[in-house]
C-alpha cells in the first residue's frame, strides 16, 4: 500500500509537469490547428536557462545567501526567455505559412524543432548539465510515504500556474479574445479581434508554462540535456490529445493520467518500456475516442 | 526607405542578441563572449548584405539566368540514358569512399521513394517511417544469424514482415485525422526502437547484432567434369553498389509505374480531397492502407540491404532523426516528384560529406533548411508536375481525378 501511495505521489509530480507542457500544445493546436513540434524544445530551453541562471548565481556566491530569490529569478528569466523564443518562432516559422497547407506548417514546426535542439547542443554542449544541489533537500514522511519538498514545490507551483491560466483565459479580455479566435478566426477578426496578436499571446503563454516545467524538471531530476524535450514533448502532446485537444482542463487531466500511467507502468510492469505505454495509450485513445476525454466534436479536416 | 530598412535590421539584431545571449554567452556560470560576438558578427554582416542588395534600385539589376534561353532542349530519354551510363560506370572510376557515399545515396533514394508514396502521393504524414526500415534490417539480421537464411530468401521475408508491420500500424490509424496520424506514426517508430533496444533476448539490446553475412551469389565456373557453381559473398563495396543500384532501380520503376497507374491517381485524389474521392467511388481507407503497405515494403527492402551491407545492426541506426531525414529528402526534392527525390537524396547525403568539418552543424542546418524551404518554396526543388486529366484511353479514372480537382 505504501509503495502504491508513493507511486501516486510520484505520478502526480510527473503528471503536473506533463500537464504544464500539454497546456502549450493544446492552446496552440486549439488556435491554429498546428502540432507545435518545437514546443518540446522550448521546454528544454527553459530547463537550460534555469541551469544557466542558477549556476551563474552559484558561481558568484549569490545562491548560498538567497536561494529563494535565485530560484525565483531562474523561473522568471526562463519564462521570459522562452516567451521571446516563442514569439520569434511564430514570427519566423509559422506566420508566413498562415493559409498554407497544414502539412507545410507541420514540417516547418518539425524543422524548427530539429533546429532548436541542435542549436542548444551547439551552444551548451552535448553532455548533461547538472543543476546546483541546493533545493533537493528534506521531505515529509506520511506513514511510510515520502514526499520531498521538491515534489510539493512542483505540484503547488504547477497548480498555481494552472489556476492563473484558467483565470486569465476565462476572466480577461485577452483570454476571451483567445477563446473566440480559437472558435472562429474569421468571425472574430470581423468583430475586431486582432488574430495575430491573439496567436502571439497564445504562444507566449504556452512557452512560459513549458519553460517553468523545464526548470522544474531540471530541479527534480538534477540535470538537463539538449535532447530532453523530444520524448516529454510527445508525451505531453499525447496528454493533450487524451484530454481532448483544445481543452485546457482536458490537458491538465490528460497530463496527470499520462504521468500516472508512466510511473505505474515503470513501477509494476517494466521500467524500460515506460515510454511505450504512453504511446500505446495515445493510439488506443485516438482509435476509440479521437476527440479525447473532454474534447468536443472537431471538424474532419486533414493535413 | 533606407532608414526604415536599417531600423528593421537593427531591431532584428537586437532581437537576435536577446535570444542568443543566454545560450551562447553564458556557459557553466561564466561569460564566454567570443562565440556570441562571432555569431552576431556573421548575422550583422549578412543583414548588411541583404540591406545592400535590397536597396539597389531594381533597374540596375540585370535579368538573371532563367534557364529558358537554352538553345536546345535535352530530351528526357537522353538524361535517363546518361544517368544509367553514369550509374553503371561510377564504381569503376571512384574510390571505396565514394562508393560508400553512393551506396548511402541509393539507400536513401529507395527510402525517399517509399516514403514519397505515403506522404507525397497519398498525403499521409508518416513520422515513423524508419521503423519499417528497422523491421527489414532486423528481419534479415535475425534470420541470418539464427537460422542462416541467405539474403535472397530473407529479402522477400523482410518485405512481407515490413508490410505486415505497415498493416498493423496502418489499419487502426488510417481513420484518424492527418496530424493525429503524424503523431501516432511517430509514437509507433519510437515503440519499435524502444522494443529493439530493450528486448535483450532477441535483439541483444543496444549492443546490436553482429556477424550478419553479406549477400552471397553462385556463379558458374568451368572446371573438371563440366560446370560447377562457386559461391561468393558480395562483401566489397563494388558489388554492393551494383546490388543497391538494382534495388533502387526496381523501386524507382515501381514507384513510377504506381504513380501513373489507377491506384496512383486514386492516391492523389485522396490527397487532394478525401470526401470527394470517396464520393467518386474510391475506397479511401483501402487506398490509404495500400499506400502504407507499399511504402513499408520498399523500406523493408532498403532495410534488409542495409543490414547486409553493414553486417551489423543496432537500434541507434533507427532513431527519429532518420525518419526526419527521409522526410526532409521527400520535402526538399518536391513531394510526389521522382527526379526531385533523387536530387534531394543526393543533396542530403553528399553535402554533409563535402562539409565534413562542419558536421556538428549538420542537423541544425537541416532543421533550418526545412523551415526555410516550407516558407519560401514549399513545393520543393523539382516540383511534381500536375498531370493532365485526360490522358488517352483512361476516361474512367480521369473523371474521378477531375472531381478531386474541382473540390481540392
- Compute φ and ψ for A129, nearest 5 degrees: -105, 125
pTM score: 0.83
- How far off is chain A from B32, nearest CA to CA, in Å? 11
Q: CA-nearest residue of chain A to B185?
A: A283
pLDDT, mean over chain A: 85
Q: How far apart are CA A101 and CA B189, in angstroms?
A: 25
Q: CA-nearest residue of chain B to A116?
A: B364
Q: CA-nearest residue of chain B to A271?
A: B198
Residue B73's pLDDT is what? Answer: 57
To test the contact with chain B by mutation, choose from A39, A115, A211 the residue with the greatest count of B C-beta atoms within 10 A, namely A115
Is the Cα dihedral B295, B301, B302, B303 positive or negative?
A: positive
Whether A113 and chain B come into contact, CB under 8 Å, resolves to yes
Which of chain A's residues have a Cβ under 8 Å away from the Cβ of B373? 111
Is the Cα dihedral B118, B336, B264, B277 positive or negative?
A: positive
Percent share of chain A, pLDDT over 90: 22
Residue A183's pLDDT is what? Answer: 83
pLDDT per residue of chain B (408 residues) written in tens, 0 to 9:
778 888 888 888 888 888 888 888 787 777 888 888 888 888 889 888 888 887 776 655 455 544 455 555 556 777 778 888 887 887 787 787 888 888 889 999 999 999 988 888 888 888 889 999 999 999 988 888 888 788 888 888 888 999 998 888 888 777 776 677 888 888 888 888 888 888 877 778 788 888 777 777 777 777 776 776 777 777 777 788 888 888 888 888 888 888 888 888 888 888 888 888 888 888 888 888 888 899 999 999 899 889 888 888 888 888 888 888 888 888 888 877 888 888 888 888 888 777 777 777 877 888 888 888 888 887 777 777 665 554 444 444 433 444 444 443
Residue A83's pLDDT is what? Answer: 93
- How far off is chain B from A110, nearest CA to CA, in Å? 7
Q: CA-nearest residue of chain A to B23?
A: A123
Residue B112's pLDDT is what? Answer: 92
DSSP A95-151: GGGTTS-HHHHHHHHHHHHHHHHHHHHHHH-SS-EEPPTTS---EEEETTEEEEHHH
Comparing B229 with A54, which gets the higher pLDDT? A54
Q: A40 and A112 in contact (C-beta within 8 Å)? A: no
Q: How far apart are CA A88 and CA A115, in angstroms?
A: 13
Whether A144 and chain B come into contact, CB under 8 Å, resolves to no
Residues of A numbered 202-241 whose beta carbons fall under 8 angstroms of chain B's beta carbons: which are they?
230-231, 234, 237-238, 241
Whether A44 and chain B come into contact, CB under 8 Å, resolves to no
Of B155, B101, B165, the residue nearest B130 (C-alpha): B165
- Compute φ and ψ for B103, nearest 5 degrees: -60, -45
Which of chain A's residues have a Cβ under 8 Å away from the Cβ of B19? 81, 84-85, 88
Q: CA-nearest residue of chain A to B179?
A: A303
State yes or no: ipTM above 0.90: no
- What digits encode the pLDDT tens for the residues A173-213? 888 888 888 888 888 888 888 888 899 999 999 999 999 99
* Contact between chains at B28 and A45 (C-beta distance less than 8 A): no
Q: B298 and B173 in contact (C-beta within 8 Å)? A: no
Is the Cα dihedral A267, A269, A273, A277 positive or negative?
A: negative
Residue A213's pLDDT is what? Answer: 93
Which of chain A's residues have a Cβ under 8 Å away from the Cβ of B327? 107, 110
Residue A41's pLDDT is what? Answer: 93
Q: Is the pLDDT of residue A79 over 90?
A: yes
Amino acid at each position: 500500500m505504501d509503495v502504491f501511495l508513493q507511486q501516486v505521489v510520484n505520478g502526480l509530480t510527473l503528471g503536473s509537469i506533463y500537464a504544464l507542457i500539454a497546456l502549450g500544445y493544446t492552446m496552440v493546436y486549439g488556435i491554429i490547428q498546428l502540432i507545435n513540434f518545437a514546443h518540446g524544445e522550448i521546454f528544454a530551453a527553459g530547463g537550460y536557462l534555469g541551469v544557466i541562471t542558477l549556476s551563474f548565481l552559484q558561481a558568484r556566491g549569490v545562491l548560498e545567501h538567497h536561494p529563494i530569490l535565485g530560484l525565483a529569478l531562474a523561473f522568471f528569466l526562463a519564462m521570459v526567455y522562452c516567451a521571446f523564443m516563442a514569439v520569434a518562432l511564430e514570427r519566423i516559422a509559422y506566420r508566413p505559412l498562415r493559409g498554407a497547407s497544414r502539412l507545410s506548417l507541420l514540417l516547418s514546426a518539425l524543422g524548427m524543432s530539429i533546429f532548436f535542439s541542435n542549436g542548444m547542443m551547439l551552444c551548451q554542449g552535448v553532455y548533461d548539465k547538472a543543476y546546483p544541489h541546493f533545493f533537493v533537500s528534506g521531505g515529509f514522511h506520511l506513514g511510510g510515504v515520502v514526499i520531498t519538498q521538491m515534489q510539493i514545490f512542483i505540484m503547488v507551483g504547477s497548480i498555481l500556474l494552472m489556476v492563473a491560466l484558467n483565470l486569465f483565459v476565462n476572466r480577461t479580455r485577452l483570454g476571451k479574445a483567445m477563446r473566440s479566435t480559437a472558435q472562429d478566426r474569421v468571425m472574430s477578426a470581423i468583430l475586431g479581434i486582432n488574430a495575430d496578436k491573439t496567436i502571439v499571446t497564445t504562444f507566449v503563454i504556452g512557452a512560459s508554462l513549458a519553460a517553468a516545467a523545464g526548470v522544474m524538471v531540471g530541479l527534480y531530476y538534477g540535470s538537463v540535456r539538449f535532447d530532453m524535450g523530444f520524448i516529454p514533448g510527445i508525451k505531453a502532446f499525447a496528454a493533450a490529445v487524451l484530454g481532448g485537444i483544445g481543452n485546457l482542463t482536458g490537458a491538465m487531466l490528460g497530463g496527470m493520467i499520462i504521468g500516472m500511467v508512466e510511473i505505474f507502468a515503470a513501477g509494476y510492469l517494466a521500467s524500460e518500456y515506460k515510454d511505450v505505454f504512453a504511446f500505446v495509450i495515445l493510439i488506443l485513445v485516438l482509435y476509440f475516442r479521437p476527440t479525447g476525454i473532454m474534447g468536443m466534436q472537431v471538424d474532419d479536416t486533414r493535413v | 526607405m533606407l532608414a526604415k530598412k536599417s531600423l528593421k535590421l537593427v531591431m532584428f539584431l537586437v532581437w537576435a542578441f536577446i535570444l542568443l545571449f543566454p545560450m551562447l554567452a553564458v556557459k557553466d556560470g561564466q561569460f564566454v563572449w567570443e562565440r556570441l560576438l562571432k555569431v552576431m558578427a556573421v548575422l550583422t554582416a549578412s543583414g548588411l548584405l541583404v540591406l545592400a542588395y535590397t536597396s539597389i534600385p531594381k533597374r540596375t539589376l540585370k535579368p538573371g539566368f532563367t534557364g529558358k534561353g537554352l538553345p536546345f532542349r535535352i530530351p528526357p530519354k537522353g538524361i535517363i540514358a546518361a544517368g544509367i551510363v553514369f550509374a553503371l560506370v561510377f564504381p569503376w572510376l571512384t574510390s571505396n569512399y565514394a562508393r560508400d557515399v553512393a551506396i548511402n545515396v541509393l539507400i536513401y533514394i529507395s527510402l525517399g521513394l517509399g516514403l514519397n508514396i505515403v506522404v507525397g502521393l497519398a498525403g499521409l504524414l508518416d513520422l515513423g517511417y524508419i521503423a519499417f526500415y528497422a523491421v527489414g534490417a532486423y528481419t534479415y539480421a535475425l534470420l541470418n544469424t539464427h537460422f542462416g537464411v541467405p539474403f535472397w530468401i530473407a529479402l522477400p521475408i523482410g518485405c512481407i514482415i515490413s508490410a505486415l508491420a505497415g498493416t498493423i500500424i496502418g489499419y487502426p490509424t488510417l481513420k484518424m485525422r492527418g496530424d493525429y496520424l503524424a503523431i501516432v506514426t511517430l509514437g509507433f517508430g519510437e515503440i519499435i526502437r524502444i522494443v529493439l533496444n530493450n528486448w535483450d533476448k532477441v535483439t541483444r539490446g543496444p549492443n546490436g547484432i553482429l556477424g550478419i553475412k553479406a549477400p552471397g551469389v553462385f556463379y558458374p565456373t568451368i572446371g573438371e567434369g563440366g560446370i560447377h557453381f562457386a559461391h561468393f559473398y558480395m562483401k566489397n563495396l563494388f558489388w554492393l553498389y551494383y546490388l543497391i543500384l538494382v534495388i533502387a532501380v526496381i523501386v524507382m520503376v515501381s514507384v513510377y509505374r504506381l504513380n501513373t497507374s489507377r491506384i496512383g491517381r486514386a492516391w492523389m485524389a485522396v490527397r487532394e480531397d478525401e470526401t470527394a474521392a470517396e464520393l467518386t467511388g474510391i475506397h479511401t481507407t483501402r487506398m490509404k492502407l495500400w499506400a502504407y503497405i507499399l511504402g513499408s515494403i520498399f523500406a523493408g527492402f532498403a532495410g534488409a540491404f542495409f543490414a547486409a551491407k553493414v553486417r551489423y545492426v543496432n537500434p541507434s541506426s533507427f532513431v527519429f532523426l532518420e525518419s526526419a531525414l527521409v522526410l526532409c529528402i521527400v520535402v526538399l526534392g518536391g513531394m510526389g516528384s521522382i527526379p526531385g527525390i533523387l536530387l534531394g537524396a543526393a543533396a542530403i547525403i553528399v553535402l554533409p560529406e563535402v562539409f565534413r568539418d562542419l558536421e556538428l552543424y549538420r542537423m541544425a542546418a537541416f532543421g533550418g533548411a526545412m523551415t526555410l524551404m516550407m516558407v519560401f518554396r514549399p513545393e520543393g526543388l523539382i516540383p511534381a508536375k500536375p498531370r493532365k486529366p485526360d490522358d488517352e484511353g483512361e476516361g474512367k479514372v480521369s473523371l474521378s481525378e477531375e472531381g478531386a480537382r474541382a473540390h481540392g
